[in-house]
Amino acid sequence: MSNPLLQVRDLRVDFGSQTAVRDVSFELFPGETVALVGESGSGKSTLARAILRLVEPTQGSVEFMGVDLLKSAAAVLRAQRRNLQIVFQDPLASLNPRMTVGDAIGEPLKIFEPQLSSTERRHKITAMLERVGMGAALAGRYPHEFSGGQCQRIGIARAMVLGPKLLICDEAVSSLDVSIQGQIINLLLDLQLDTGMSMLFISHNLAVVRQLSHRVMVMYLGKLVEVAACDSLFAAPLHPYTRALLAAVPQIPPATACVPLSEGSLAGGSIVSGCAFRDRCPYALPLCASADPPLDEIAVGRKVACHRSHEALIPLS
Amino acid sequence: MVPTLSIDELSVSFTHRIGTLEAVDGVSLQIAQGECVGVVGESGSGKTQLFLAAMGLAGDAEVAGSIRFEGNELLGANQQAINRVRGSKLTMIFQDPMTSLTPHLSIGTQLAEVLVCHSGLSWREARDVSLRMLEKVRIPEPRRRLEQYPHELSGGMRQRVMLAMSLLCEPALVIADEPTTALDVTIQAQIIELLRSVRSEAGMSLALISHDLAVVASLADRILVMYAGRIVENAAADELFRQPRHPYTAELLKCVPSLSGARLARLPTLAGQPPQPGEALAACAFAPRCPRAAERCRSESPVLAGAPTSQVACHFPLS
């Protein structure tokens, strides 16, 4: 296997006394799509922002294309940012309402490719607009003239115009209607096919994740609790939290009712010892309150942080 | 038997400087006693405006048609008559429970107020009933919650409080507008379970509005599909999922990603996008996106027709 494009080691993010991301390590290979799933408050977005240094991590390292971003000088970091782009959840809020969409897509070019003439830049902008399925004639319009799905295409065009090696999608399709969601996902898949970029796809929607990712990482209260190839995760989830997440997804036709997971009482900041999931876990043992299970590699490419991962646990329903 | 809610030829429109925007366009529907009706459609399809109008909460909108609740006309009724049923017998819960609750009043006060206003209970009695209701919606430590303020509760807990509030006066109909959309999937599963059990205990009717077909599938007896302000299909839930008849329903169902079955190289999509507010519509609003559209769809509006539990508004329905 080739060298990883992104190598995150022991990354930790603290906000005051609260720990949002605790000692997360993973790698992302060229051309790979890795999904990051978990509930709100699990630290998914904070992890993504820490990789981009939009929030400052407390410790750890983020090696991207061989450069440690956390130790880089501002100029080096800035130069790397063109290879490392992000698309946000709310497409309208992430576009400047007073900037035409052409200018929004052109701005990264102005910053990173100042040598381009305005004609060359305009050509790149129209080519990019067409690439994301929007007419070149729309470059002079403003974001409020577009629907959510169209704004997300514009956000993607702005992120892709520099040809990044890694695209982070932070709930990029979550606010879209289901009929539009598929269009945007197909667009991302096409762009990946064209450019060979990697994607870190953050989502709470497991059915979407299943369709597009190669590997899945499950996060709970700041910690990765399971990492697996997409197919094996969905075929046989090992961590009780992953199982509960999957069981909670509503299905058509409705699946047989299962016992929904209770609401947790542990918050990110209050965990001093033991497994953070133990208060909601139907399989918790006394051991889980005292020892935090490490993320162990139990098979090739398969990691689980659970004291009972070696046991065949009875299904939840 | 008189239906709990009976809506006839309801239109909701907004006057805007660019013209009149038709949010709901001549919708008729009935919800029977004890029935759970799911209402699905994309954003902008008019599903929320339809039920806000039914609640008398349409604001500046022009509302025309008829809305009968337990046989009594609400549209044009005096405010007193509306206030008698609204919030007691006819209640609504919303997507965002934080903005639906008053931030500066304790949960106990907000719950008890409903009973003091509508049922004439004393504050002390109202508090006891509120406490029992919090127990019913399975809020842990209900006594402590009465003293707490909305910001001290999690999103799931707030939605339970909203549900408790909507149930205080033994409503005949609860309208739930995207009640689980803002919640995590595990909490969503809890709220769906709770709605199911509350409905079987209390026997009220439920209108469940959602863009998420799978959420609706888990609760509804019957489903209405809305597109561009109109109902395009009305069918028993299992029928609708087994054999959708409107092309829009069929295409929409194909788009829902699944946890089972083969993984696809490309996701199925619905071409184009839903009409934007104010956009001129074809005779059949779905025609521009419809794989079955023919000339007739652009000249002649299809009407919702068929047996009461199997209606479709399409010239060329799937069979």
Q: Does B264 touch chain A (CB under 8 A)?
A: yes
Locate tokens 């992120």: which residue? A159
Q: Does B157 touch chain A (CB under 8 A)?
A: yes
Using alpha carbons, list the distances in angstroms from residue A226 to A26, A243, A263. Answer: 11, 11, 20
- The whole-angstrom distance between A144's CA and the closest CA on chain B is 12
Q: Among B269, B239, B245, B244, which Cα is nearest to B255's?
A: B269
> What's the DSSP call for residue B274?
P
β strands within chain B, DSSP E:
5-16, 19-31, 36-40, 62-69, 72-73, 90-93, 173-177, 205-210, 222-227, 230-236, 305-307, 310-312
Q: Could you tell me the residue ranges of all domains in chain A?
A: 6-213, 236-302+312-317
pLDDT in the model for residue A259: 66
What is the Cα–Cα distance from A91 to A59, expressed in whole angstroms?
A: 31
What is the amino acid identity at position B117? C
Are A171 and A201 in contact, with CB atoms under 8 Å apart? Answer: no
Please give the residue of chain A at the shortest CA–CA distance from B213. A252
- The whole-angstrom distance between A241's CA and the closest CA on chain B is 10
Cα radius of gyration (chain A):
21
Q: Does B211 touch chain A (CB under 8 A)?
A: yes
Q: pLDDT for A129-164, tens place per residue?
A: 999 999 889 999 999 999 888 999 999 999 999 999
Q: Among A253, A177, A140, A22, which Cα is nearest to B219's?
A: A253
The DSSP annotation for chain A comes to -PPPSEEEEEEEEEETTEEEEEEEEEEE-TT-EEEEE--TTSSHHHHHHHHTTSS--SEEEEEETTEETTT--HHHHHHHGGGEEEE-S-TTTTS-TTS-HHHHHHHHHHHH-TTS-HHHHHHHHHHHHHHTT--GGGGGS-GGGS-HHHHHHHHHHHHHTT--SEEEEESTTTTS-HHHHHHHHHHHHHHHHHH--EEEEEES-HHHHHHH-SEEEEEETTEEEEEEEHHHHHHS--SHHHHHHHHHS--SSPPPP--PPPPP---GGG--SS-TTTTT-TT--HHHHH-PPP-EEEETTEEE--TTTTS-PPP--
Task: Residue window 171-200, chain B: list those with CB within 8 Å of chain A.
Answer: 184-190, 192-193, 196
Q: Among B128, B195, B182, which Cα is nearest to B154's?
A: B182
Q: Among A182, A250, A235, which Cα is nearest to A211's?
A: A182
Asked whether the beta carbons of residue B156 and residue A263 sit closer than 8 angstroms, the reply is yes
- The whole-angstrom distance between A173's CA and the closest CA on chain B is 13
Residues of A in contact with B265 (CB under 8 A): 189
Task: Residue window 131-150, chain B: list those with CB within 8 Å of chain A.
Answer: 140
Three-class secondary structure of residue B76 per DSSP: coil
Locate tokens 């302000």: which residue? B229
Instruction: Find the CB nearest B185 among A211, A230, A249.
Output: A249
Instruction: Find the CB nearest B188 among A186, A211, A248.
Output: A248
Question: Residue B298: which region, alpha, beta or left (left: phi > 0; alpha: psi -120 to 50)?
Answer: alpha
Cα radius of gyration (chain B):
20
pLDDT in the model for residue A317: 45
Asked whether the beta carbons of residue A179 and residue B238 sit closer than 8 angstroms, the reply is no
Instruction: Find the CB nearest B42 among A179, A231, A254.
Output: A179
pLDDT in the model for residue A105: 96
Three-class secondary structure of residue B272 per DSSP: coil
pLDDT in the model for residue A204: 87
Please give the residue of chain A at the shortest CA–CA distance from B243. A253
Are A202 and A34 in contact, with CB atoms under 8 Å apart? Answer: no
Share of chain A above pLDDT 70, in %: 93
- The whole-angstrom distance between A140's CA and the closest CA on chain B is 19
Q: What does pTM read for this prediction?
A: 0.90
In a mutational test of the B interface, the residue from A33, A42, A263 whose CB has the highest number of chain B CBs within 10 Å is A263
What H or E segment, with its residue span, contains residue B190?
helix B185-202
pLDDT in the model for residue B318: 94
Task: Residue window 271-290, chain B: list those with CB within 8 Å of chain A.
Answer: 273-274, 276
Residues of B in contact with A39 (CB under 8 A): 184-187
Using alpha carbons, list the distances in angstroms from residue A253 to A110, A150, B251. Answer: 51, 31, 16
- The whole-angstrom distance between B118's CA and the closest CA on chain A is 32
Answer yes or no: is pLDDT of A245 > 70.
Answer: yes
Phi then psi dihedrals of residue B238, to 5 deg: -65, -35
Query: Tell me: domain A6-213, CATH 3.40.50.720, correct?
Result: no
Q: What's the CA angle centered on B272, arms B290 and B319, to 5 degrees? A: 20
Please give the residue of chain A at the shortest CA–CA distance from B183. A40
Instruction: Find the CB nearest A249 among B42, B154, B259.
Output: B259
Phi then psi dihedrals of residue B30, to 5 deg: -135, 145
Asked whether the beta carbons of residue A185 and residue B252 sit closer than 8 angstroms, the reply is no
The DSSP annotation for B77-146 comes to --HHHHHHHBTTTEEEE-S-HHHHS-TTS-HHHHHHHHHHHHH---HHHHHHHHHHHHHHTT-SSHHHHH
What is the Cα–Cα distance from B220 to B241, expressed in whole angstroms?
A: 12
pLDDT in the model for residue A270: 59
Beta-bridge partner residues of B209:
B39, B177
**Residue B96: other Cβ atoms inside 10 A:** 15
Q: Who wins on pLDDT, A221 or B261?
A: A221
Count of CB pairs separated by less than 8 Å, A with B:
128
Asked whether the beta carbons of residue B259 and residue A210 sit closer than 8 angstroms, the reply is yes
Are B288 and B247 in contact, with CB atoms under 8 Å apart? Answer: no
- The whole-angstrom distance between B192's CA and the closest CA on chain A is 9
β strands within B168-257, DSSP E:
173-177, 205-210, 222-227, 230-236
pLDDT in the model for residue A96: 95
Asked whether the beta carbons of residue A250 and residue B238 sit closer than 8 angstroms, the reply is no
Asked whether the beta carbons of residue B214 and residue A250 sit closer than 8 angstroms, the reply is yes
Tally of residues, chain B: 319
Instruction: Find the CB nearest A207 among B42, B258, B268.
Output: B258
What is the Cα–Cα distance from A243 to A237, expressed in whole angstroms?
A: 6
In a mutational test of the A interface, the residue from B267, B286, B289, B290 whose CB has the highest number of chain A CBs within 10 Å is B267
Which token pair is B138? 């399975």
**Residue B299: other Cβ atoms inside 10 A:** 11
**Residue B60: other Cβ atoms inside 10 A:** 7
Residues of A in contact with B225 (CB under 8 A): none
Q: Is the peptide bond before B142 cis (omega within 30 degrees of 0)?
A: no
The pLDDT profile of chain B, 319 residues, written as one tens digit per residue, is 899 999 999 999 998 887 888 899 999 999 999 999 999 998 889 999 999 999 999 888 999 999 999 999 999 999 999 999 999 999 999 988 888 999 999 999 999 999 999 999 999 999 999 999 999 998 989 999 999 999 999 888 999 999 999 999 999 999 999 999 888 888 899 899 999 999 999 999 999 999 999 999 999 999 999 999 999 999 999 999 999 999 999 999 999 888 888 888 888 888 888 887 778 888 999 999 999 999 999 999 999 999 888 999 999 999 8
Are A42 and A239 in contact, with CB atoms under 8 Å apart? Answer: no
Please give the residue of chain B at the shortest CA–CA distance from A235. B260
- The whole-angstrom distance between B87's CA and the closest CA on chain A is 28
In a mutational test of the B interface, the residue from A37, A174, A178 whose CB has the highest number of chain B CBs within 10 Å is A178
Asked whether the beta carbons of residue A207 and residue B256 sit closer than 8 angstroms, the reply is yes
Give the number of C-alpha atoms closer than 13 A to the C-alpha of residue A202, restricted to the C-beta side: 23
Which residues, other chains included, contact A66 with Cβ-Cβ below 8 Å and sequence gap of 6+?
A3
Q: pLDDT for A259-307, tens place per residue?
A: 667 777 666 555 668 899 998 898 999 999 999 999 999 999 999 999 9
**Residue B100: other Cβ atoms inside 10 A:** 17
Asked whether the beta carbons of residue B42 and residue A210 sit closer than 8 angstroms, the reply is no
> What's the DSSP call for residue B282?
P
What does DSSP say about strands A33-37 and A215-220: parallel, antiparallel, or unpaired? parallel
Are B237 and B217 in contact, with CB atoms under 8 Å apart? Answer: yes
- The whole-angstrom distance between B170's CA and the closest CA on chain A is 26
For chain A, the average pLDDT equals: 91
Locate tokens 């529907």: which residue? B29
